[in-house]
Amino acid sequence: MTYIPEELKVPGYEKVLYFENSSVGLRSIIAIHSTALGPACGGIRVLPYPTKEAALDDVLRLAKGMSYKSAVAGIGFGGGKSVIILDPTKKRPEIFHAFGEFVNMLNGRYISAKDMNVSSPDLLEVKKTTRHVLGIEGVPGSSGDPSPVTARGTFRALQATLEEIAGSRCFTAKKFAIQGLGHVGWDIAEMLVREGAKLWVTDINPSALRRAETQLGAKAVPGDQIYEIECDVFVPCAVGAILNSSTIPRLRCKAVVGCANNQLATDADGMRLNQRGILYAPDFAVNSGGIINIFIEYEGYDQSKALQKADAIYDTMKEIYGRAKKEQLLPVAIANQIAEERLAGRKGYPKTCSAMIK
Ligand code: NAD
């Protein structure tokens, strides 16, 4: 039996398709927000969405976010995302095979990668039915774990921010409060310590905290108290929505710069930070090292090129801060403006783009 995707017309999006394959139990949506700058790249998210509408809301928001992140990063990717409506405990190879067939129907206009509840073995299953999938760890030519590149980009954003708040990028004796010592947070902590910074850290994993105390000389802080540490920069590297109406009044930092996705719970929280005199570095500009790493894989992977490209996040942040001062706008508004300018500058992606996909 042949399964045909249903096109959902969504204003502002190039293509949104809903696809069901009842023989394997696949229900999924691919949203392409823009291919103005290149093929739409974004991860596959597996979640047990309560309704198709809830899945659609999420995929639309995420696809647009990917357009902005790639545009600000200055790479040749557009923005897209996909969701599979499924309880992650019920994942089966057949579902990913069928999903790969769906991806393949777009002839490379959408390139899939990993997101929430999707592992490299799942991507290997997708790869059996489409070549438009990147970021599979362990596969020859793969970009592997993006965390070192994300950490490098975040560190470069920290340098640019320190210049704003302290007039120099010298980290010696500067104070940083890091939330989350996982793949990216740990690397950032190490870089900061090497530069002579003082660290306060928290993590829900007690062994990460012990390690930071013994190996990095960091001061471990229990849970929520991290918000109240008097420091130069608060560095969120764990989860999203941590900048909200209850945490912002507690902050005693001059700036927030971290790799965590979607740090602001609402747009109003960007304004709240500003009212408290706290400089907020837009997360999607700071943490674009992850998508940069995937883009370099698309071109032919070389980690040194990925790190070099992530270094340019410093220049992007300088531009954002410079324009924010000049135009009297929040840095997050300027980052959005830069993305929109770039997206508007180039239109149309060659229809035969599959020829360009490796
Ligand atoms: P990770 O899972 O390796 O690390 C997250 C760490 O945060 C873990 O040590 C976890 O124990 C800790 N944690 C979770 N909840 C916490 C809480 N409430 N308080 C304190 N600590 C908590 O993830 P990662 O790859 O290091 O990514 C960190 C963040 O950066 C995530 O938001 C991720 O989406 C984002 N990000 C990562 C990359 C990348 O390349 N890995 C790229 C872009 C964005």
Residue 50 in domain: yes
Residues 332 and 220 in one domain: yes
Ligand 1 near 183 CB (within 6 A)? yes
Ligand 1 centroid vs 7 CA: distance in angstroms? 35
Instruction: Give the long-range contacts of residues 50-57, CB within 8 A, separation 24 or more.
Output: 52/18, 52/27, 52/85, 55/27, 55/29, 55/83, 55/85, 56/8, 56/16, 56/18, 56/29, 56/31
Please work out whether the CB of residue 154 comes within 6 Å of at least one atom of ligand 1.
no
Residues 151 and 116 in one domain: no
Is 174 found in the same domain as 116?
Answer: no
Tell me, yes or no, whether 88 lies in a domain: yes
Task: Name the one residue in this structure whose structure tokens are 């180039």.
Answer: 346
Q: Looking at ligand 1, which atom is closest to the CA of residue 236?
A: 29
In a domain, 22, yes or no: yes
Q: State residue 83's pLDDT score.
A: 98
Residue 154 and residue 275 in one domain: yes
- Say yes or no: 238 and 328 in one domain: yes
pLDDT values of the chain reduced to their tens digit, one per residue, 358 residues: 778 999 999 999 999 999 999 999 999 999 999 999 999 999 999 999 999 999 999 999 999 999 999 999 999 999 999 999 999 999 999 999 999 999 999 999 999 999 999 999 999 999 999 999 999 999 999 998 999 999 999 999 999 999 999 999 999 999 999 999 999 999 999 999 999 999 999 999 999 999 999 999 999 999 999 999 999 999 999 999 999 999 999 999 999 999 999 999 999 999 999 999 999 999 999 999 999 999 999 999 999 999 999 999 999 999 999 999 999 999 999 999 999 999 998 644 444 333 333 2
Active-site option among 15, 64, 69, 81: 81
202-208's contacts with Cβ under 8 Å and 24+ in sequence apart are 202/177, 202/178, 202/226, 203/179, 203/238, 204/238, 205/181, 208/181, 208/182
CA distance 326 to 318: 12
pLDDT of residue 350: 44
How many angstroms does the Cα of residue 185 sit away from the middle of ligand 1?
A: 7
> CB of 117 closer than 6 A to ligand 1?
no
In a domain, 133, yes or no: no
Strand order in the sheet with 255-256: 219-220, 198-202, 175-179, 233-236, 255-256, 279-280
CA of 24 to the centre of ligand 1 (A): 32
Q: State the pLDDT at residue 349.
A: 46
The boundaries of the domain holding residue 26 are 6-65+79-127
34 lines ligand 1 (CB under 6 A): no
Same domain, 91 and 164: no
Residue 1 lies in a domain: no
Could you tell me if 110 and 30 lie in one domain?
Answer: yes
- Per the annotation, the verdict on 81 as an active-site residue is yes
Whether 183 and 107 map to the same domain: the answer is no
Q: Is the CB of 79 under 6 A from ligand 1?
A: no
Instruction: Evaluate: CB of 179 within 6 angstroms of ligand 1.
Output: yes
pLDDT at residue 3 in the model: 86
With the most atoms of ligand 1 within 8 angstroms of its CB, the residue from 179, 210, 239, 309 to mutate is 239
258 and 321 fall within a common domain: yes
| 98 and 167 belong to one structural domain | no
The CATH number of whichever domain residue 241 belongs to comes to 3.40.50.720
Q: How many residues does the chain have?
A: 358
Domain-embedded: residue 138: no
What local confidence, expressed as pLDDT, does residue 356 receive?
A: 34
In a domain, 241, yes or no: yes
- Which atom of ligand 1 is found nearest the CA of 184? 26
Write the CATH number for 113: 3.40.50.10860
Distance 182 CA to ligand 1 centre (A): 5
Do 331 and 224 sit in the same domain of this protein? Answer: yes
Identify whether residues 165 and 103 lie together within a single domain. no
Q: 283: Cβ below 6 Å to ligand 1? A: no
pLDDT, residue 346, reads 60
User: Cα(147) to centroid of ligand 1, in Å?
Assistant: 10
Kindly give the number of the ligand 1 atom that is closest to the alpha carbon of 185: 26
Number of folded domains in the chain? 2
Q: What number does the ligand 1 atom closest to the CA of 149 have? A: 40
51 within some domain: yes
Q: What is the pLDDT of residue 23?
A: 95
Strand partners, 233: 176, 255
**40 in contact with ligand 1, CB cutoff 6 A:** no
* 12 CA → ligand 1 middle, Å: 31
262 lines ligand 1 (CB under 6 A): no
